[in-house]
């Protein structure tokens, strides 16, 4: 309990210290304690006043806590009448920047949500294949339980609709009843969504099985269709640039640098078969129309009065707030104020040159990408190689020794085999400075120490810029 002088209860008077009164009334050593009736009454009154003050402070604390909770709840979306939706929340950083965190050279990376959908299709195909191969009817309830156990993630009919949108020829969906489920909540007479894999017929006429090779083939087809779906959004993004860019799809090896892959809109789910609508009598007027000939005149009169009362318009409730639509991702535009005073001709030339460079990046094959990465390292490796020859004081070194010395001196971690590829590229570009000599089963490296190292590195940098612009 807080002290009486705390700001929680400034209006509560402080009571005299009970310890001081007891101390004053304590007898000297060796004397028996003696309390008069007046002192006893004072002590009881002091205890009662302190207990009353503690109760008042506790009530004040509870009131302040309840008011703080009410103030915090008034700022929640539910208090404002807008229910919080998962789609309105900001995605975590590992989802928004998933494409940037992928290892290896840039390529046609799928968004995070598309990769999750591909994993859902793989799990769903596995469960459906197990049920289909043992001649058991796959239903959504069985598949949902199996996929959620495999992925530790929610799997709903909306995800099945997305799979149908991406790969329509994968499954045949139907609403059937009479399917045993062995579940208390589902009756045998209820309609259930069944999933049948669409497979090619066997040559010998036997029932087709969903084997491991077919599972792998269907998984590859689904991934390819996801890439084609992202290519459509990438094509629309390229058309919105200034100047517009057109890249053939068969030559596209990576996305545009300004194309945010993880902001690609989600796949719209396809419509799945729904249970047939059965006629249900919901109003008294419908009951009267159906069973007019089966009731007595008194019952008919009572139902007519009830139908008239139920036909009266009820008070309309408050309208539900509409959810805001998510705006589509748009490419970043340059600020007009930043380009004020720059000639339009210069801007067009810069944009055309940038578009040409980005087009070369998007159509570059992986082998060219590796060659460019090696070209960027060659100026540093040329300095290291010259230092190795100066320290060894030999006119030639074997390829094995040269690679081992350079691996230990280079800042970039590389294997001896990768270092040998760099030396071969260096001898290809500068044969007058670095030459290779094959003697018996060994290869020797010879270096021109008298050449100017600055001119060598300048030639390598020009070669790297020339090949990067192709």
In this predicted structure, what is the pLDDT of residue 163?
Answer: 96
Higher local confidence (pLDDT), 394 or 14: 394
CATH architecture of 366-469: Orthogonal Bundle (1.10)
Q: How confident is the model at residue 86 (pLDDT cuts 50, 70, 90)?
A: very low
Confidence of residue 278 (pLDDT cuts 50, 70, 90): low
Give me the residue label for tokens 């059965």: 278
Cis peptide before 360 (omega within 30 of 0): no
- Strand residues in 198-291 grouped as ranges (E): none
Domain map of the chain by residue range? 99-201+208-263, 366-469
- Average pLDDT score, the chain: 79
pLDDT tens-digit series, residues 318-331: 554 444 444 444 44
Query: Which are the contacts of 288, defined by CB distance < 8 A and separation ≥ 6?
Result: 300, 303, 304, 307
Q: What confidence score (pLDDT) does residue 291 get? A: 66
Per-residue confidence band for 408, with pLDDT thresholds at 50, 70 and 90: confident
For the chain, what percent of residues have pLDDT higher than 70?
73
For 194, the 3-state DSSP assignment is strand
Distances (CA, A) of 428 to 215, 366, 460, 463, 467: 46, 20, 11, 12, 14
CA distances from 84 to 69, 266, 320 (A): 19, 19, 13
- Burial class, 70, CB count within 10 angstroms (exposed 0-12 / middle 13-18 / buried 19+): exposed
CA pair distance 159, 455, nearest whole angstrom: 60
Q: What is the pLDDT of residue 173?
A: 95
Q: Is the pLDDT of residue 165 over 80?
A: yes
């Amino acid at each position: 309990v807080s002290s009486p002088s705390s700001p929680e209860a400034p209006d509560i008077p402080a009571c005299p210290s009970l310890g001081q009164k007891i101390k004053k009334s304590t007898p000297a050593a060796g004397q028996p304690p003696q309390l008069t009736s007046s002192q006893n009454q004072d002590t009881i009154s002091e205890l009662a006043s302190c207990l009353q003050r503690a109760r008042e402070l506790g009530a004040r604390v509870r009131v302040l806590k309840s008011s703080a909770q009410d103030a915090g709840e008034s700022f929640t979306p539910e208090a404002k009448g807008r229910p919080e939706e998962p789609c309105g929340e900001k995605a975590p950083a590992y989802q928004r920047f998933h494409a940037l965190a992928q290892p290896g050279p840039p390529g046609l990376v799928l968004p995070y949500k598309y990769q999750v959908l591909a994993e859902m299709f793989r799990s769903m195909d596995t469960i459906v294949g197990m049920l289909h191969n043992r001649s058991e009817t796959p239903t959504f309830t069985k598949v949902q339980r199996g996929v959620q156990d495999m992925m530790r993630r929610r799997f709903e009919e909306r995800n099945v609709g997305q799979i149908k949108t991406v790969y329509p020829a994968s499954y045949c969906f139907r609403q059937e009843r009479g399917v045993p489920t062995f579940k208390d909540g589902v009756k045998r007479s209820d309609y259930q969504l069944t999933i049948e894999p669409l497979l090619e017929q066997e040559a010998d006429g036997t029932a087709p099985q969903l084997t491991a090779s077919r599972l792998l083939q269907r998984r590859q087809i689904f991934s390819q269709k996801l890439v084609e779906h992202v290519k459509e959004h990438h094509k629309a993004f390229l058309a919105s640039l200034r100047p517009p860019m057109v890249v053939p799809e068969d030559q596209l090896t990576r996305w545009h640098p300004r194309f945010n892959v993880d902001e690609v809109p989600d796949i719209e789910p396809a419509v799945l078969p729904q249970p047939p609508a059965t006629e249900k009598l919901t109003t008294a007027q419908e009951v009267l129309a159906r069973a007019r000939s089966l009731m007595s005149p008194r019952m008919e009169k009572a139902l007519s009065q009830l139908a008239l009362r139920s036909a009266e318009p009820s008070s309309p409730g408050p309208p539900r707030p509409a959810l805001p639509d998510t705006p589509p991702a748009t490419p970043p535009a340059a600020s007009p104020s930043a380009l004020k005073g720059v000639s339009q001709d210069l801007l067009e030339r810069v944009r055309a040159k940038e578009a040409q460079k980005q087009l070369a990046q998007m159509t570059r094959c992986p082998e060219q990408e590796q060659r460019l990465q090696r070209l960027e390292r060659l100026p540093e490796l040329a300095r290291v190689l010259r230092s190795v020859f100066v320290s060894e004081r030999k006119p030639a070194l074997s390829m094995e020794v040269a690679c081992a010395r350079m691996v230990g001196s280079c800042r970039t971690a590389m294997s001896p085999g990768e270092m040998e590829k760099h030396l071969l590229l260096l001898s290809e570009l500068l044969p007058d400075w670095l030459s290779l000599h094959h003697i018996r089963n060994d290869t020797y490296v010879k270096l021109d120490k008298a050449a100017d190292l600055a001119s060598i590195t300048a030639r390598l940098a020009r070669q790297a810029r020339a090949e990067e612009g192709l």
